């Protein structure tokens, strides 16, 4: 049974100051939290930063429940660990959440649930701490270890760029990410790119784009964090990790004038994602503009109508969309066209999900001082 890295962990790091992304300031503590995984799987890591709170969220199979627990006790649906660093000491605060939540809008949907503090713990480098109080909530106690953020020495993957005008290099790494720098050698800005790391059981891919501005200015550089894959398979009841990937490839890059360099199929999938996002964004704006113009409804009713209207938008690409991309990239194989349709559908879905996430944030902000009116919030939310 093959297991892809990132799927079996069922855990992610979330920076409370903002979801971590390709331009997050690199951590400066040189510390990380090692979190054990079940069934012989390798541990996962959260690299810490002394200037902000980091956290991990566990739910569904990520929550390991004790056997023979009190059946009458309310069962938590999620566990959150918050990490702060001061003077070389890592403080860990554990909280549990109760109730049902929307898996499509985590972590926002979890953080709106009733919560209860489990305990506060601390440890230094090379020390371990066990969260024994978790057992009071019917959960198996976790034992966390503070380790150096830099991983043990290893051979980094080689880099290859299929876009001659963009060079890539791996300049560093921690236990979770490679730090990759892209250099734009062109006189044109780079608006999108796609990175790929071939593995034994498939590919580990990541792309980035900016429809309104250049991602990389002419002659400029751009740093991105590329997740280190840990795929593998189960053999005789044990997890066997695949050999480290040998190469990180820049498959394609798009420029300000609409031209591209690199692999045609990769570029076609990127174009499909861009088109799907643009089409769905226009349809969403059409729905929302009509609702906001209704002076007879209050903002609460408008939110419900927006949510309903956006939910009804199709996530299936129409033939005209597929034909449009095929016209731009003639000669694609049948397999490439199938992947094209998948990319279009995914973009249509993601655009809808982003609106739902935004509405959740808006609703949460209404309980706080200085909350925006819906129309003003929507304008700021959609601003490029």
pLDDT of 375: 93
Helix, strand, coil % in the chain, rounded to nearest 5: 30, 35, 40
Share of the chain above pLDDT 70, in %: 88
Count of structural domains within the chain: 3
The helix/strand/coil state of 216 is: strand
pLDDT at 199 over 60: yes
Quick check: is 324 in a domain?
Answer: yes
Checking 294-300 for CB contacts under 8 A at 24+ apart, the result is 299/373, 299/374
Lowest mean pLDDT among 77-86, 189-198, 318-327, 365-374: 365-374
Answer yes or no: do 128 and 60 share one domain: yes
- State if pTM tops 0.95: no
Residues in the chain: 384
Dihedral of CA 320/322/324/330: which sign?
A: negative
From 262, 290, 315, the end of a domain falls on: 262
143-148 vs 31-35, strand pairing mode: antiparallel
pLDDT in tens, 156-194: 899 999 999 999 999 998 888 899 999 999 999 999 999
Residue 369: pLDDT band (50, 70, 90) is: low
Kindly indicate the confidence band of residue 16, based on its pLDDT and cuts at 50, 70 and 90.
very low
CA distance 284 to 281: 5
**In terms of domains, do 183 and 196 share one?**
yes
Q: Are residues 35 and 118 in the same domain?
A: yes
Q: Are 350 and 277 in contact (CB under 8 A)?
A: yes
Residues 243 and 275 in one domain: no
Reported as a pLDDT band with limits 50, 70 and 90, residue 10 is very low
Hey, what long-range contacts does 304-313 have (CB within 8 A, 24 or more apart)? 306/355, 306/359, 307/356, 307/359, 310/284, 310/352, 310/355, 310/356, 311/352, 313/280, 313/283, 313/284, 313/287, 313/348, 313/352
The bridge status of strand 31-35 relative to strand 247-255 is unpaired
Of 384 and 83, which is predicted with more confidence?
Answer: 83
Q: Percent of the chain at pLDDT above 90?
A: 61
Phi-psi region of 313 (alpha: psi -120 to 50; beta: other; left: phi over 0): beta
Q: Mean pLDDT over residues 142-155, rounded?
A: 88
pLDDT of 19 higher than 80: no
Given 262, 289, 310, the domain boundary residue is 262
Specify if 153 maps to a domain.
no
SS3 164: coil
* pLDDT value, residue 174: 85
3-state secondary structure of 127: coil
- pLDDT score, position 213: 81
Domain enclosing residue 220, as ranges: 158-262
What is the CB neighbour count within 10 angstroms for residue 316? Answer: 10
Task: Output 199 or 268, whichever has higher pLDDT.
Answer: 268
- Give pLDDT, residue 5: 33
Within this chain, do residues 47 and 144 fall inside the same structural domain, yes or no? yes
**Do 120 and 199 fall into the same domain?**
no
pLDDT confidence tier of residue 127, bands split at 50, 70 and 90 = very high
Q: Which of 201, 228, 262 is the last residue of a domain?
A: 262
The candidate with the shortest Cα–Cα distance to 31, out of 226, 219, 225, 174, is 174
Q: Which residue has the higher pLDDT, 274 or 242?
A: 274
């Amino acid at each position: 049974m093959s297991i892809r890295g990132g799927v079996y962990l069922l855990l992610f790091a979330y920076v409370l100051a903002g979801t971590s992304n390709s331009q997050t300031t690199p951590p400066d503590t040189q510390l990380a939290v090692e979190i054990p995984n079940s069934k012989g799987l390798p541990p996962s890591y959260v690299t810490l930063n002394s200037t902000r709170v980091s956290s991990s969220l566990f739910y569904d199979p990520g929550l390991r429940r004790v056997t023979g627990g009190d059946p009458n006790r309310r069962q938590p649906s999620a566990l959150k660990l918050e990490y702060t660093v001061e003077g070389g000491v890592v403080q860990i605060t554990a909280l549990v959440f109760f109730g049902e939540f929307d898996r499509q809008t985590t972590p926002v949907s979890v953080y709106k649930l009733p919560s209860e503090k489990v305990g506060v713990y601390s440890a230094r480098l090379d020390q371990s701490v066990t969260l024994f109080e978790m057992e009071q909530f019917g959960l198996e106690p976790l034992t966390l270890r503070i380790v150096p953020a830099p991983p043990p020495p290893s051979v980094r993957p080689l880099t290859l760029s299929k876009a001659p005008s963009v060079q890539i290099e791996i300049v560093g790494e921690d236990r979770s990410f490679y730090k990759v720098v892209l250099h734009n050698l062109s006189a044109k800005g780079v608006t999108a790119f796609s990175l790929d790391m071939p593995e034994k059981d498939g590919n580990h891919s990541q792309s980035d784009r900016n429809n309104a501005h250049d991602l990389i200015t002419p002659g400029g550089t751009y740093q991105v964090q590329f997740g280190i894959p840990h795929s593998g398979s189960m053999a005789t009841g044990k997890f066997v990790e695949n050999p480290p990937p040998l190469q990180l490839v820049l498959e394609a890059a798009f420029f300000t004038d609409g031209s591209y360099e690199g692999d045609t199929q990769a570029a076609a999938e990127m174009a499909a994602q861009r088109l799907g996002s643009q089409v769905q964004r226009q349809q969403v704006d059409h729905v929302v503009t009509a609702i906001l113009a209704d002076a007879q409804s209050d903002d609460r009713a408008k939110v419900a109508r927006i949510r309903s209207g956006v939910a009804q938008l199709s996530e299936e690409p129409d033939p005209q969309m597929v034909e449009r991309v095929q016209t731009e990239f003639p000669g694609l194989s049948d397999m490439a066209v199938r992947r094209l349709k998948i990319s279009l559908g995914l973009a249509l879905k993601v655009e809808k999900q982003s609106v739902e996430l935004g509405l959740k944030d808006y609703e949460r902000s209404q309980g706080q001082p200085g909350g925006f009116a819906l129309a003003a919030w929507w304008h700021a939310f959609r601003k490029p």
